[in-house]
Amino acid sequence: MLFSFTSSETVLARGQEKYFCELDCHLSYSILDGRQTKTLGNGPNQSKADGLYHIVTIKTRFDENTISSTRGNGTLTPNSRVATIVDAQEHTFSPSENGAQALAQSENAGTPFTQVLRPGETYATKLVFDLHAEVANPTLLLNEGEWLTRFTIGHENSPLHRKTRFQL
């Protein structure tokens, strides 16, 4: 608990990376782009946001500088990721399924976070959130989805640990 209690909140600017430790290497995530629109999709597949769709493009990078010398060029399947938007009042918002479906039917929705990578490889993932107008200072929280991480000392998911978020 001491590690968590002494941690600090961090907000990363666009392009700054947040690292996740995998078993023998690190994956980094950063915001590539963000845009807003009232509608997504075309024709009968069009979806209208209750508020405003926020489309966030996230870059995943397998940092080849963090692997052990004996690892080689083998693939890595990333651990699960959970993305939420957190506003100034600490309200949380999950990705919009309707928005994601409309995006996938009208443009390249990117690569899922679960895509296998080799050292040095990257890909982009697009997430869609439907935020109401009263949402102030939204930030993106990207963390590990495995429940076991809540019991790991010093892990961002452990109780009382402060978070590292991305500025949108």
Which CATH number goes with the domain that contains 92? 2.60.40.1240
At residue 4, the pLDDT reads 44
**Which pTM value belongs to this model?**
0.86
Task: In the chain, count H helices and then E strands.
Answer: 2, 9
At residue 88, the pLDDT reads 93
Contact in structure between 65 and 19 (CB atoms under 8 Å)? no
125 inside domain: yes
27 inside domain: yes
CB crowding 87-97: b at 16 or more within 10 Å, else e: beeeeebebbe
At residue 2, the pLDDT reads 45
At residue 59, the pLDDT reads 97
Averaged over successive runs of 10 residues, the pLDDT of the chain (168 residues) comes to 56 89 80 96 90 97 84 84 94 96 91 93 97 93 69 55 82
Domain holding 87, by residue range, is 17-136
73 inside domain: yes
154 inside domain: no
153 inside domain: no
* Tally of structural domains, the chain: 1
127 inside domain: yes
107 inside domain: yes
Token pair for residue 122? 């990257």
